[in-house]
Structure 1
């Protein structure tokens, strides 16, 4: 039997511990501040969290980290609460301006900011972009000079001055350059027959991978001559080595002549597809492209046969790194594939090239307008740091966006930039870092110098107090909390663990080997359980040697623990004298069950918990089983009083009413309940009135009457007479109408029948029996048959 009881107790404790664990987990979800082990992790848990380093706080509360409002509410002085705020400092904040004698144009403002950020507490600031006038433009024309593009080359040379003139209308600070490409000079792309290596086709120059024919220059008149002098060449397959050319034109900054601050436009013109990473294996080239510049003194690509073609991701990365806009000018049959390629490369676009490139000027103008009219901001990626944008984009509605369309020279747009640190990195060197925000295809950028708040000032070595008296001289006081020396433990390092193994620390605080320490409801210090409060800030704590009891979890009666008539001991009520029951709700005396005749429940029931429980087979109910709900007696007894009190009618006079009848409560509506019986009667006016009666704790009748009666609607005789007369008249008219219709139909049928017989009549020409003709015919029988 003892073993059984012991097992039941263990099951109850395990279930209770599990319930407490679930409750703690839910509380932690609602309040992420709770349970943080140190000040640094506390301020990183959320912007509402604070750390209280006030002395003696452990004696009041179980956690130094909590919501700031809770810490103040529970008694922590504001001067002892650590809750750092974000700091925003503008290092360089020059307003946008056009290019002038004082210096280059500024399109993005601010330029440099210092942010001291607390994890999970976002900071928002404004960023302004203005599309400057006469912003520097570098246009490098990269052309496929295989044999099929010969006509395009001649047309491009003729249109060189037009390109310069058109771009001069856009900006006064314009430079133009030219480069060409064919393919890798090896099989299977180029014939390696010696004669073909000198001239692969009639009038063709020796093949090459890429060559910088004209570096970017303000003397745009040189463009036409260089294009005209550049010879065409030939190759064997349809795809060209354009990716090699794009890579070299992008990364060879000095050789091409790209300026640091300019809108860099790389115009790629071809009538064929492209080779990409992996195709080099067909020619025995297996070394991946290194993304470096390999141009010699003549501008020729030297590693064409040494390095594989670059991949799309490499092209995309280098274009983004060098803030370059790529324009694909391709023929109609190749446009679809280059549009798909453009979708993969940020800041690129595709235009359709005429068969002889005659529309190249308009194509450059259109794509330049397309590029400049769209502004899109991007932030360099950083682990655990998010950047978001909001803007009206020259409208009236603010929305989440990092891009704006329809920009024109001089237009200015403002973005709301929100930066948030999600968590602190473990590596301390990563707590200071820089991220950049810049428009795609432009060198303008905002540099954010971010310093993460991952440690409180009180945690720094200079502010520590070693061998502190608050820590029993065996620990370091840090942010109001003790960090104990080796072999010491406890909140104040008051416990000596020299002769204890790690598994022995909590052994004295466990009811069984399998149970939780202090039943999961407290902390074990020096072999003794210190029970915690049931909820944060509550004065109601668990109790018992192992915190197995909770003296506030007993049943309640009338919203009071143990009915206010006893004490709660480990979940059970110990009632005061004169009361019993699970919540001490029942008086032991039976006086409240005695009827007026002194008999318990009028002999029609039994007294339970101070109330009569009437026999079910009996028709009687009420506090002392004195009322019969199915009998009319009580309703009839109160009928006259309700009439005189509520409606001043009935058989009783006013004097009799005041003397005999109790007070009656008037209300809009009355309903029958378990305690109240509903009565319904008709008075002399044939109106129904309603009332209920019930009994209070002192067996006094309580009558509630409905203040309105339900009377039948009076009959309007005049309207009835008028209705009858109108009905008779209408019925007569209807009958006359029916008779008239029937007679009309009958007459028409008879007339039709007469007409039919008249038309069918025949007058025969019969002979008059007394008429004789004027001539007679005689026959002689003698000669009958002769002849």
Structure 2
């Protein structure tokens, strides 16, 4: 062949590679599989499959094929479609079919693992029964009930491909019950102890009505025997109060037994003790009562009830430092042969999380029987502990039997599934519960169960990613009903690797025998894994002295750009090595470093709305499960748009988008609102329409008061309440305040219940104006006017009398001061004149 022929061959080869690269690049925009370089990466991507077949190019392109294979080695990296165009090995599963429009790959070389489920133990649900013992001694043995099915399953699960498991639960009749009564025996509980000793036999009798297989035990606690919890004065250590026993931490007085009289005797004989501070050492007692399985006598297949009775709060982790106790609680059993807690002064109190963990681990239902003033504290505590509840204990514990029965009914009337799955394993629960004809909804809890009720759960298990540590790719997951010592064990194996990548399996060749890789790398699943210093598809390039000018064509998608490796990598031996990122969770990948897992849309600052909703692949969010949208923030479901019992979405007043209702606006400008568009605060309501029925049913008045037939034909029956308060169970409830013919104001509210039926609640008392006595008011006014007139007259008379008397007194006073007689006028002169002889001296 001449030089011209060789040149033509080179141009033809380069053009073919360009076509191949262009096809590959176009696929990557919509194909999440195209950027995957290894079989493991490929099968860890949902809907992707890998072809490991070694196929050379079509015969039409095999002119001087040996030279072509030597230069480009395309038969190692790609296989060919019917038209001879090389295709990436990782592609969508639905593209691998043996027809003219699909990719060609021999089934034996196609790596497309699927989920595999195998039921290892699948015993039918049965109730427990007592049968004669095989020893022939006349005794009976109990065959345990089976309440959950299946019991053990092996699951091989592919990444991001969920697997559903059907699980059944039925509450068995006569299921064994172990009840351990843990009592605070500080001085304040003395009257409670006396009451409990009398009620012991009654408690056993009432519980045996619920289950004949019942056992009862008793333990007590006070507090740590160190300051400042108890007085350490020697005499107080012997008897802290009159008739009191020496203080102690916890004492297992009576292990679980069927003899109720023993329980009553132990409670009666137990003596109270005393401590200094208000909180008690109840957490120490709970921990020992839970973990000391053999000492307490807990049976492996029984419902375990631990009743915790107190009138005080509790010490928890860290409080021990006040008494110089710094060693954390180890969560182990420390009871001696007499049932006494030996590490009370050595270990600190347990924490809430430790108690919660041990209660969950040992499947104990914890019931807090506490006084009213402590109820809020223990309600908060119960919400932090799986399977715990709280009830109000009377001041002398007289209601303890009813309290335990009620709490036991609550526990047994519901089933809640929990699991210990961690890391990348995501488990979701669905069930119809007891509504066989209703829609399946996402829930792990069903209520309202009775003996024999059978509930089906659909458990959706999905592995979101492969753990980096291979030892974590096999897990044992325990799915169990809360408080029941039965479970479904799932032996999970994550399908993270292809067998052809492991030595000793077909499709793997070590470097020493891998001619396809020029003996410079291992052949794995049809591609070469080169040694450190070698590069290239067939490990043909030595990175230490590579001629980069000749290799740059393999680092560009086509000749229309001079940018190598998309500007995000180095071109080494015709192969792109993408730049690393400072964040180890972020990667750049792809044949030309064109893809990454960090440049997708974000929601609430989370890439693709978070790992549970989507993952970023080549700049595009691949949504998981029911999530959709550019950023996987939209839930492709209508469950939250339909009210229970309602066939229409959003009450027919809106549209459902992303599992949320977008409510319409009416032509008159009214707008619906609420979760289901069930409210319209500006729309005319049903108050006027319902008033007549409400009045006749509750107040015996209104338009229907004399029409009994019309009153009986009302489509609802009003529910009377003392005080009309908001109803949390009905989101669309509206309040009506109306006036009746008596001028009284009455209130009622209407809405829908869980079955979407009209529900009307009426306040049974009306607010009426007071009755006005007109005649009384008139008479009162007249009487007041007359009285006021008489008062004015009397006042005038008094004032005038006082004035007259004052004037008269003044006159009398002036008269007494006069120097003449009242009958002689000093201005009057007699008519006769009298002369006096001055010489006459009055002598004769």
TM range (shorter): 0.5 to 0.7
- 2:90 pairs with 1:65: yes
1:94/1:518 CA distance change after superposition, 3 Å = closer
CA distance in 2, matches of 1:163, 1:359: 11
Following superposition, the deviation at residue 69 of structure 1 comes to 2.6
Partner of 1:313, secondary structure, is helix
Query: 464, 471, 496: which one pairs with 1:454?
Result: 496
Query: 529, 538, 542: which one pairs with 1:492?
Result: 538
Name the structure 1 match of 2:195. Answer: 155
CA distance in 1, matches of 2:400, 2:115: 52
- 2:122 pairs with 1:93: yes
Name the structure 1 match of 2:261. Answer: 221
Query: 333, 337, 352: which one pairs with 2:392?
Result: 352
Following superposition, the deviation at residue 382 of structure 1 comes to 2.0
1:504/1:226 CA distance change after superposition, 3 Å = farther
- 2:122 pairs with 1:82: no
Name the structure 1 match of 2:486. Answer: 444
**CA offsets, 1:618-650, max 9 Å, x none?**
xxxxxxxxxxxxxxxxxxxxxxxxxxxxxxxxx
1:280/1:351 CA distance change after superposition, 3 Å = same
Query: 420, 432, 435: which one pairs with 2:462?
Result: 420
CA distance in 2, matches of 1:127, 1:322: 22
1:150/1:475 CA distance change after superposition, 3 Å = closer
Name the structure 2 match of 1:406. Answer: 448
- 2:559 pairs with 1:517: no
Matches within 5 A, 1:232-247: 232-247=272-287
- 2:501 pairs with 1:476: no
1:34/1:528 CA distance change after superposition, 3 Å = closer
Name the structure 2 match of 1:582. Answer: none
CA distance in 2, matches of 1:423, 1:305: 47
CA distance in 2, matches of 1:520, 1:93: 57
Following superposition, the deviation at residue 389 of structure 1 comes to 0.9
Following superposition, the deviation at residue 58 of structure 1 comes to 5.0
TM-score (norm 2): 0.57
Query: 332, 335, 339: which one pairs with 2:379?
Result: 339
Name the structure 2 match of 1:465. Answer: 509
Partner of 1:420, secondary structure, is strand
Matches within 5 A, 1:634-645: none
Following superposition, the deviation at residue 76 of structure 1 comes to 2.1
1:480/1:270 CA distance change after superposition, 3 Å = same
**CA offsets, 1:567-626, max 9 Å, x none?**
xxxxxxxxxxxxxxxxxxxxxxxxxxxxxxxxxxxxxxxxxxxxxxxxxxxxxxxxxxxx
CA distance in 2, matches of 1:48, 1:508: 28
Following superposition, the deviation at residue 346 of structure 1 comes to 1.2
- 2:476 pairs with 1:429: no
Name the structure 2 match of 1:757. Answer: none
Partner of 2:379, secondary structure, is helix
Query: 296, 301, 325: which one pairs with 1:256?
Result: 296
Q: Is the 8 A contact 1:47 1:120 kept in 2?
A: no
Partner of 2:325, secondary structure, is coil
Q: Is the 8 A contact 1:506 1:517 kept in 2?
A: no
1:323/1:29 CA distance change after superposition, 3 Å = farther
Query: 387, 397, 400: which one pairs with 2:439?
Result: 397
CA distance in 2, matches of 1:446, 1:528: 49
CA distance in 2, matches of 1:510, 1:382: 41
Name the structure 2 match of 1:547. Answer: none
Matches within 5 A, 1:365-764: 365-395=405-435, 396-462=438-504, 463=506, 464-466=508-510, 467-485=513-531, 487-497=533-543, 499-500=545-546, 516-517=563-564
CA distance in 2, matches of 1:528, 1:97: 64
Query: 171, 179, 183: which one pairs with 1:139?
Result: 179
CA distance in 2, matches of 1:362, 1:409: 20
**CA offsets, 1:171-197, max 9 Å, x none?**
111110000011111111111111111
Q: Is the 8 A contact 2:479 2:487 kept in 1?
A: yes
CA distance in 1, matches of 2:352, 2:23: 53
Query: Which 4+ runs in 1 deviate beyond 6 A?
Result: 21-27, 507-512, 518-525
Following superposition, the deviation at residue 311 of structure 1 comes to 0.8
Name the structure 2 match of 1:31. Answer: 31
Following superposition, the deviation at residue 117 of structure 1 comes to 1.1
CA distance in 2, matches of 1:523, 1:276: 59
Following superposition, the deviation at residue 66 of structure 1 comes to 1.2
Q: Is the 8 A contact 1:52 1:71 kept in 2?
A: no
CA distance in 2, matches of 1:360, 1:454: 55
TM-score (norm 1): 0.61
Matches within 5 A, 1:321-336: 321-336=361-376
Q: Is the 8 A contact 1:373 1:407 kept in 2?
A: yes
1:379/1:30 CA distance change after superposition, 3 Å = farther
Query: 268, 271, 276: which one pairs with 2:308?
Result: 268
- Cα root mean square deviation, aligned: 2.9
CA distance in 2, matches of 1:206, 1:97: 49
1:461/1:359 CA distance change after superposition, 3 Å = same
Q: Is the 8 A contact 2:250 2:341 kept in 1?
A: yes
Partner of 1:163, secondary structure, is helix
Following superposition, the deviation at residue 269 of structure 1 comes to 0.4
CA distance in 2, matches of 1:268, 1:132: 26
- 2:175 pairs with 1:175: no
Q: Is the 8 A contact 1:138 1:216 kept in 2?
A: yes
1:521/1:311 CA distance change after superposition, 3 Å = closer
CA distance in 2, matches of 1:527, 1:190: 80
CA distance in 1, matches of 2:354, 2:26: 48
Q: Is the 8 A contact 2:555 2:565 kept in 1?
A: yes
Q: How many residues align?
A: 507
Partner of 1:148, secondary structure, is helix
1:493/1:218 CA distance change after superposition, 3 Å = same
- 2:229 pairs with 1:200: no
CA distance in 1, matches of 2:441, 2:518: 58
Query: 335, 341, 357: which one pairs with 1:295?
Result: 335
Following superposition, the deviation at residue 500 of structure 1 comes to 3.5
1:205/1:29 CA distance change after superposition, 3 Å = farther
Q: Is the 8 A contact 2:24 2:87 kept in 1?
A: no
Name the structure 2 match of 1:116. Answer: 156
CA distance in 2, matches of 1:25, 1:342: 58
CA distance in 1, matches of 2:389, 2:573: 73
Query: Which structure has the larger Rg over C-alpha atoms?
Result: 1
Is there any run of 5+ residues in structure 2 with no aligned partner, and where? 1-20, 56-74, 132-142, 577-844
CA distance in 1, matches of 2:370, 2:427: 37
Q: Is the 8 A contact 1:50 1:82 kept in 2?
A: yes
Following superposition, the deviation at residue 490 of structure 1 comes to 2.3
CA distance in 2, matches of 1:41, 1:187: 62
Partner of 1:140, secondary structure, is strand
Q: Is the 8 A contact 1:54 1:77 kept in 2?
A: no
